[in-house]
Amino acid sequence: MSDKKVILCVDDEKTILKSLKAQLKKHFSKNYTYECAESAIEALEILEELSKDGVQIMVIVSDWLMPQMKGDEFLVQVHQKFPNITKVMLTGQANEDAIERARREANLGYCIHKPWSEQELIAVLESSLGNT
């Protein structure tokens, strides 16, 4: 079992991933490893890989509106395989039904609306990670 702990960010916009990673690194520094995926499909592959390597995935921060697979569908699939990962949806577009579905079927922890504030992001993750 690896002692690496991962925060996975999923968004189809590179600039958002860069921004998330920079904010997380600034606050949590070397406490975690930060992985990024530009699609739900890529994120599922990363999860499988990390899981095989015994790496603990702590939190997933996922966009909702992405090509191929929407965030609620992605988080439901993640929850079926990895129920202990905290799931956060970061979205500018998700409709209430999608958020509700993610809460119901994926045990969605939080939903943050874009544009997000760094303070809100960090507060949500600290709470998710038990660092409060």
- What is the model's pTM? 0.95
- The predicted structure's pLDDT at residue 58: 96
Paired tokens of 69: 């697979």
| Confidence (pLDDT) at 6 | 97
φ/ψ of residue 91, rounded to 5: -150, 150
- What is the rounded distance in angstroms from the CA atom of residue 25 to the CA atom of residue 18? 10
CB neighbour burial string for 70-107, b if at least 16 within 10 angstroms, e if fewer:
bbbbbbbbbbeeeeebbbbbbbeebeeebbebbbeebb
CATH number (3.30.1540.20, 3.10.129.10, 1.20.1560.10, 3.40.50.2300) of 5-59+75-129 reads 3.40.50.2300
Quick one: DSSP state of residue 29?
G
Give me the residue spans of the domains in the chain: 5-59+75-129
Q: Quick one: which H or E segment has residue 113?
A: strand 108-113
Binned average pLDDT, 10 residues per bin, the chain of 132 residues: 86 97 95 97 97 95 95 97 96 90 97 96 94 57
Phi-psi region at 97: left, alpha or beta (left = phi > 0; alpha = psi -120 to 50): alpha
